[in-house]
Copies of this chain bind each other. A is one copy, B any other.
Amino acid sequence: MIQAGVIGATGYAGAKVVSLLCAHHQAHIAYLGSHSYVGQTFSSVYPAMLGVCDQVLQEDDLVKAASQCDVVFLALPAGIAAAEVTQEILANTVIIDLGADFRLHDGAVYQAWYKKPAPTSEMLAQAVYGLPELHRDAIKRAQVIANPGCYTTTSILSLAPVMHLVKPQSIIIDALSGVSGAGRGEKVASLFCECDESAKAYGVANHRHTPEIEQELSLVAGSPVMVQFTPHLVPMKNGILATCTAELLPGVTENEIASAYQKRYGDEPFIRLYPSASAVESRFFTDTNTVGIGWTVDSRTGRLVIVGSLDNLYKGAAGQAVENMNIRFGFDETEALAKFSL
């Protein structure tokens, strides 16, 4: 049994980590930190957890949490983890950061997109990008695990197997997200009456998940990849659906594509392949750690259309974070994580 802490436990992603840990057989919650609700019980903020998690929320104090925990999950706005995670903390604790600060290997890229100081290159060098399907072995030894973003996980996992079969500069990703992706902040734009019965694009040409997608796809492709990424908000609580369009290299067959997916994901516990792009619906993955992927070749246009989908708070955030903990501490990778739900 390890001791786990969560800093930023009352945001949607942090709270989901708490909820998953409550059902985990090998981790015990030792510390819950919150910015806005210090001194209140977790269940007073999330009454769905009444009688399940009535722990009192403490300050968002990483040093204190680290002193009591084997692993600390960070669910914080950009910039805080970069400033607060130190070598001393890492000496005793594994950090799983659900934020962006340690995801980009190049600090300059981080600063350009986030307008905040990046972690030092020494710190960045210790961080592993926590996408198990790509970096499982490194995660096992990592002291800082940079948990990927929700759009990012969907996009990278959808495209990684076929990067050698498409033109790397032709990738267009139009992705749809449920509203929980915008967080629990008190913003007019997140009100029910502003989101319900409406769809919109946002962050056009400048969404911060773009460089993350490009970093990882470039690594897979072995050459620099630049993508056109346009996220959209649609009126549902949870879920990401990413439609990825790319030009096929000449002569690529459907069999080659199918083999590529099968080869890379045949043994993955949390990836489910669907027979076509239209067969994937985001609700299939709600409240699970599973990613669904389907694809269709448009022989008329010579393009491949891939649809990937997951639950943004689960595999897109908290579930993947717990998966990373499971890998890092040698637990069953699927412990406390749902593979399906109906």
Contacts and interface: CB of A to CB of B under 8 A. Distances in A.
Given A22-B340, A278-B204, A198 B50 contact: no
Interface stretch (A87-95, A178-186, A322-330): A178-186
> Chain A: interface residue count, which band?
35 or more
A114 interface: no
A230 B305 contact: yes
Contacts of A238: 197
A294 B245 CA distance: 22
Contacts of A184: 188, 191, 193
A237 interface: yes
Contacts of A188: 184, 186
A204 B296 contact: yes
The quantity of this chain's copies bound in the complex is 4
Contacts of A309: 199
B197 A239 contact: yes
A83 interface: no
Contacts of A236: 196-199, 234-235
Contact of A237 (B179, B192, B274, B287): B192
A47 B284 contact: yes
Given A179-B196, A228-B245, 11 more contacts: A47-B279, A48-B342, A50-B284, A52-B340, A184-B193, A190-B191, A201-B307, A205-B296, A228-B303, A228-B305, A235-B236
